[in-house]
Structure 1
C-alpha cells in the first residue's frame, strides 16, 4: 500500500535547519511512513537486517543513516518519488559535520548542543552558576579550570570558545534565540574567577538583561526552599510545532537529553514553579545592580 506524507510537512525539511533538526524531522517522517504501513520496529528491523533499537534511533534522529539504508526503507514503505527525494536530501544534510565538531566536546554533550542550536526557546534554571548562555569568557574559563577532574587542560580553550559560539544566537538580529533563565541568588555572590571576572560577569548579565529576547529572574535567599533544590535543568522548545520539546540535565559524570513527554512536561511545570518563586525581571536586574561593584 502506497503511503504519503502531507506536502506542507515535506516543506518543513526545505527550511534552513541544522543537521540535528534535519535528522529529527527525517526521523519523524520515517515513523509516520512505518506506522502508515502498519509495520512494527521488529518487522522493519528484520527486513533491514538491523535491530529494532536501530530503527528507533533513526526515527528519533539519534543516528545517521546511509543512502542505501534510506532507499531500502523507502522501498519497504512504497514511498512516492517526491517523498524519496526530499527525505534523501534531509538525510544527506543531516549527515554533514556540525559546527561544534571541531571543539572537542564530550560525546555525551554533543546531542544537546545540536538541539540547542536549532531551538527557538531555552528555559534554564541554575543554582550555583550564572547560566551558560549568559557567561563571559573569563567566567567560563574559570569554571573549566576549577578542578583538575573537570576538563582536560588541552581542551579548556576549545570548550570556552564553543560556549561563546553558542551565545551568538542571542545576538542574532534576524532570528534571536529566546532565553528564559532562573538563577539562584547564591550564583550572584559567588566570585568565580576572582573579583575582576566576577564583577565583569555581573555587568555582562545586566547588559544582556536589557535585550528583549533575554529574561532572567533571581530566586532570593528569602524565598527559602524552592521547587528544584537538587539540581538545575534546561528545557528546549522549537519553532516547528511538530518538533517536541526536550529537556537536559547534567552533573559531574556527564549529562543526558530527556525526550519522554511526561518527564519533559514535569520539568516545564517545575520551571514555571521556579519562576513564580523568583523576583520579577526588573527587580532581579535591580538586585544584580546592587550586588555588582561599581554600579550606581
Structure 2
C-alpha cells in the first residue's frame, strides 16, 4: 500500500481537513464512499473497500441495525404509527426533539449519533427510486402532537406533505373519530424482502421485537390491509394534512 502526505491524500479523495481529521483520528466514522476513494488513491488492493459494509452498519446504534438492514433489503414496506411520525418521514428538527425528550436522558453524544443514524436511514427515500414501495398509516394525533413547538410541527407537516407526493410513497391518515378501527393493539411494521420473505416488527418502550412466524406475519398483513381500508385514502390524507397545516 502506498503512503502519501495527509494534505495530498485528503485532496485526492476530496476530503477537506474539517471532515477528514475526525475520521482519521477515529472520532467519526468515515463514509463508505470515502473508503472506496482512499482504497484507490492509496493502492490498498480492496482492503479499505472491504470495510465499507461494516462501516455502513456501524453508523447505526445496535438497537436499530436490524431495522436499517430490513429497510435496505425491502422491496415493499408498510408502517402503522400510533404516537409519532415514523422515523423515515421525520425532519431532523423533529427527530432531535424526540431524542431530547427521551427519559432517561440521552447524552449530547448519544443524541447526535442517534440523529445521524436516523437521517442516514432516510437515504432509501428519494424521488428517483422505485423501491422500496412504502406505505404509511399515521394516526391523526401524530400530526397534531406539538411536543417540540409550532415551528418544528409546521416544518414536519410540510416535509410529510412533500414526501407523500413521491412515486414510491403513500401516506394515509387514520382520523381519531374513525369508529371501525383494526389497529387498536398498537403500531407495527411489515417488510417484504427481495429474497421473498415477509417479516414483521413491533417496538414497545424502545425494545424492538422481530416477528418471523408465518402465522403471526399473516395476521399482521391482514390487520394492515384492514387498517389501510379504514383510513383516509392517500388523496384525502393530503387534504387532511393541508387542513392541519392551516391550523398550526
- Bigger radius of gyration, 1 or 2? 1
Counterpart secondary structure, 1:222 = coil
Candidates 232, 237, 242, aligned match of 1:279:
232
Aligned to 1:264: 217
Deviations, residues 157-177 of structure 1 (Å, cap 9, x unaligned): 111111111111110625442
Counterpart secondary structure, 2:221 = helix
Distance between the aligned counterparts of 1:220 and 1:197, measured in 2? 22
**Aligned-residue CA RMSD in angstroms?**
2.2
Equivalent runs, 1:1-296 vs 2, <5 Å: 96-97=53-54, 99-103=56-60, 105=61, 107-149=62-104, 151-171=106-126, 173-224=128-179, 226-240=181-195, 243-293=196-246
Q: C-alpha displacement at 1:212, in angstroms?
A: 1.1
**Structure 1 residues 268 and 149 mapped into 2: Cα distance closer, same or farther (>3 Å)?**
same
Counterpart secondary structure, 2:229 = helix
Counterpart secondary structure, 1:149 = coil
Distance between the aligned counterparts of 2:54 and 2:158, measured in 1? 36
Counterpart secondary structure, 2:177 = helix
Aligned residues: 199
Counterpart secondary structure, 2:158 = helix
Moved over 6 A (4+): none
Counterpart secondary structure, 2:172 = strand
Deviations, residues 19-58 of structure 1 (Å, cap 9, x unaligned): xxxxxxxxxxxxxxxxxxxxxxxxxxxxxxxxxxxxxxxx
Counterpart secondary structure, 2:185 = coil
Q: C-alpha displacement at 1:279, in angstroms?
A: 0.5
TM-score (norm 2): 0.74
**Structure 1 residues 256 and 142 mapped into 2: Cα distance closer, same or farther (>3 Å)?**
same
| Structure 1: 5+ residue stretches without partners | 1-92
| Structure 2: 5+ residue stretches without partners | 1-49
Query: 1:109–1:256: 8 Å Cα contact kept in structure 2?
Result: no
Deviations, residues 125-161 of structure 1 (Å, cap 9, x unaligned): 0011112111111111111111232644321111111
Deviations, residues 214-240 of structure 1 (Å, cap 9, x unaligned): 101111122135112132100001233
Query: 1:150–1:252: 8 Å Cα contact kept in structure 2?
Result: no
Q: C-alpha displacement at 1:191, in angstroms?
A: 1.2
Counterpart secondary structure, 2:57 = helix
Counterpart secondary structure, 2:101 = coil
**Structure 1 residues 176 and 192 mapped into 2: Cα distance closer, same or farther (>3 Å)?**
farther
Distance between the aligned counterparts of 2:126 and 2:99, measured in 1? 24
TM-score (norm 1): 0.62
Query: 2:129–2:168: 8 Å Cα contact kept in structure 1?
Result: no
Q: C-alpha displacement at 1:205, in angstroms?
A: 0.7
